[in-house]
Structure 1
Amino acid sequence: MIEVYSWATPNGHKVHIMLEECGLPYKVFPVDIGAGDQFKPEFLSISPNNKIPAIVDPVGPDGKPVALFESGAILLYLASKCAKLLPKSDRQKFEVLQWLMFQMGGVGPMLGQAHHFRMYAPEKIDYAINRYTNEARRLYGVMDKRLAQSKYIGGPEYSIADIAVFPWLRSWKNQGIDWNDYPHLKGWFDEIAARPAVQRGVEVLADRRKPLTGDKEREVLFGTQQYKRH
């Protein structure tokens, strides 16, 4: 059984959804990032960047345990393990992978910054809010144009590219997005949200997460503790 060290965040939900789509048995170990669980030595031993999610598969490719961090790497690993959600042909596979990298390098980091400056920053900085809100809208536009031409983000079939992107768009309102501006993306979003495995995946640990309101939690996530050498 795969061990999943995670929390109810977009990156965590990627892996939860992937495991549900693959039908692989797994056990979840909560890592409360507001309480600082990500800095505990036992978690750092499998996720040295102190970020969730991470997994431990007791039966890796060579039959021995393997630990992985970084959600994109985990999606690729699970796609290989269950032989699903990543095309076999090189042409189609790399088409999917470019959109996976688009999410990892663009959608996640930029929407994360939009969340931070719009919702969590201790002071409202107009320049930062405008910069990252505009970048969020630009990225939504890229995806909307893609989905005007393609049924799914990565191509004609549902894939890890869709699984990677979807959780980040669930907080569209906090990102300053009006769905009316992105009709093709909205149609795709609704279709993905209706998948039973997706619905199960986004519920994993959802009851454990609380709104980020306390100074202690803000300090853990955004303060000096992030920059200490653990």
Structure 2
Amino acid sequence: MATSSSGLTLYGSQGSRSPLVNWGASEVGVSITMGNLQNNPHPFGQIPCLTDDDDVLVFESGAILQYVYSKAAETNGDSPARKATITSWISWANASLDPICFLETPEGKVYDTGLKKPNRRIETLDQILSKQEFLLDDKNGGFSLADVAVSSYLLYVPQFFQGVDLSRWPNVVRYMKQCAERKAYGDAFGPNVQDMLVSSLGGMMTSSKGGGGGEKDEKKKLFGMF
């Protein structure tokens, strides 16, 4: 892969959303340096946060992913239609998928996932993925940063709510597993996380439809790093 000449610095850590930026950057050949969190310039002190050589400051994972996309040499030739579709899916992941995957208290602490129950939007996503391998079909280039954004959020759910059953959406589960199996995903999130997810998703693919989370989910301690 060609590597861009930008001087991008990412402030983040494992267990947060920042690895999805590392994953996306790797997929499109953009080089990123990890910054010292003590020097994190995010206006609210949160992560991830990205800076560039030319005094650019970007925060919010979706905005960062879109900026990485704009810096990628190997996607500069993407058609306007492909660019519009990718950026739309990235925005959808942040604006619509996030609140489905992560239910928060008024204080912003995640306490549960909405994927334990049927969901109209996830059902629609499952229908889309029943017709194609990735969010963009082969005619439009297949795997893209749209998949990095959407699958990252989906993959955080079995990562933090171990035992949740997503098998009511078989095409989504297949999609999640394919994305988690990518080398760049393992490099960004770590081989232990990758192996656990691939194994659990493989189990969901062989289980019967229905379910949607059981008692094991309730025993998973809450988290609020997002």
Note the 1:11-160 alignment, pairs <5 A. 11-29=17-35, 31=37, 42-43=39-40, 46-58=41-53, 64-84=54-74, 88-113=78-103, 121=111, 132-133=114-115, 137-156=119-138, 157-160=142-145
Deviation of 1:22 (Å): 2.8
Q: Secondary structure at the match of 1:47?
A: coil
Letter of the structure 2 residue corresponding to residue 147 of structure 1: L
Q: Specify the alignment match of 2:212 in structure 1.
A: none
SS in 1 for 2:45: coil
In the alignment, the residues of structure 2 paired with residue 189 and residue 85 of structure 1 have an alpha-carbon distance, to the nearest angstrom, of 23
Measured at CA, do residues 24 and 171 of structure 1 come closer, stay the same or move farther in structure 2, by a change above 3 Å?
A: closer
Q: Contact 1:137–1:177 (CA<8 Å) still a contact in 2?
A: no
Q: Which has the higher contact order (CA 8 A, sep 6+)?
A: 1
> What secondary structure is seen at the aligned counterpart in 2 of 1:188?
helix
2:149 is aligned, of 164, 187, 199, to: 164
User: For residues 118 and 15 of structure 2, what CA distance do their matches in structure 1 show?
Assistant: 18
Runs of 4+ with deviation above 6 angstroms: none
Task: Give the alignment's Cα RMSD to 1 decimal.
Answer: 3.7
Gaps spanning 5+ residues in structure 2: where?
1-6, 194-219
Is the 1:86–1:96 Cα contact (8 Å) retained in structure 2? Answer: no
User: 1:160: how far off?
Assistant: 1.2
Cα distance change, pair 196–98 in 1 and its aligned pair in 2 (3 A): same
Greater fraction of residues in helix:
1
Normalised by the length of structure 2, the TM-score is: 0.67
- Structure 1 SS opposite 2:167: helix
Q: Give the aligned length.
A: 187
Structure 2 SS opposite 1:55: strand
Aligned AA for 1:47? H
Question: Quick one: distance in 2 between partners of 1:178 and 1:87?
Answer: 40
How far apart are residue 107 of structure 1 and its match? 1.1
Name the counterpart of 2:165: 178
CA contact (8 A) 1:14 1:163 kept: yes
Indicate how the Cα distance of structure 1 residues 103 and 86 shifts in structure 2: closer, same or farther if over 3 A, else same: farther
Q: Deviation of residue 18 (structure 1)?
A: 1.4
Tell whether the 8 Å contact from 2:62 to 2:94 is kept in structure 1 after alignment. yes
Deviation, structure 1 residue 30: 5.9
1:193 aligns with 2:188: no
| Equivalent residue runs for 1:187-226 within 5 Å | 187-203=174-190
Deviation track 1:86-129 (CA, whole Å, cap 9, x = no partner) reads 8722223222222222111011233121699xx965xxxxxxx6
For the 8 Å contact 1:4–1:28, the answer to whether it is kept is: yes
- Which digits, 9 at most, give the CA deviation of each residue in 1:35-89, with x for residues without a partner? xx7xxxx43xx3224331111122xxxxx23221121121111112113458722
Alignment-mate amino acid for residue 106 of structure 1: S
Task: Pick which of 22-31 and 150-159 moved more.
Answer: 22-31
The 1:110–1:67 alpha-carbon spacing in structure 2 relative to 1, beyond 3 Å, is same
Is 1:8 the counterpart of 2:3 in the alignment? no
Whole-Å separation in 2 of the counterparts to 1:30 and 1:193: 28
Q: Structure 1 counterpart of 2:183, which letter?
A: P
Structure 2 match to 1:124: none
